[in-house]
Amino acid sequence: MRNIKLILGYDGSEFCGWQTQPRERTVQTTLEDAIRKLTGVQKVHANASGRTDTGVHAVGQVVNFHTSSNLPITKILRGLNAHLPEDVVISSAEEVSDEFDANRHACASFIAM
């Protein structure tokens, strides 16, 4: 099983926050749907460095997920961006150790604007 770390940003205007909620559009659900479509793996859990509330934007949010997919990391990055709506973008993807957990290990992300 591979552990994939993503750095993503999103315009939260049309989202009801990060965490999956029944019948609501959330960033977590949107990302997990894109991962399912790309990898064909149905059981997906995207773990984030933090959750956001309704309408909150993010730049540099750290996320990780585990997958059995053998897709090269460059295809994961390009493929996920192709499956995501315009208000979510992944800026980087990398394979990390199995112990990495975005919620426990992400300290800070600084992006020059």
Catalytic residue among 11, 33, 53, 87: 53
SS3 of the chain: CEEEEEEEEECHHHCECCCCCCCCCCHHHHHHHHHHHHHCCCCCCCEECCCCCECCCEEEEEEEEEECCCCCHHHHHHHHHHHCCCCEEEEEEEEECCCCCHHHHCCCCCCCC
Q: Is 11 annotated as catalytic?
A: no
Residues serving a catalytic function are: 53
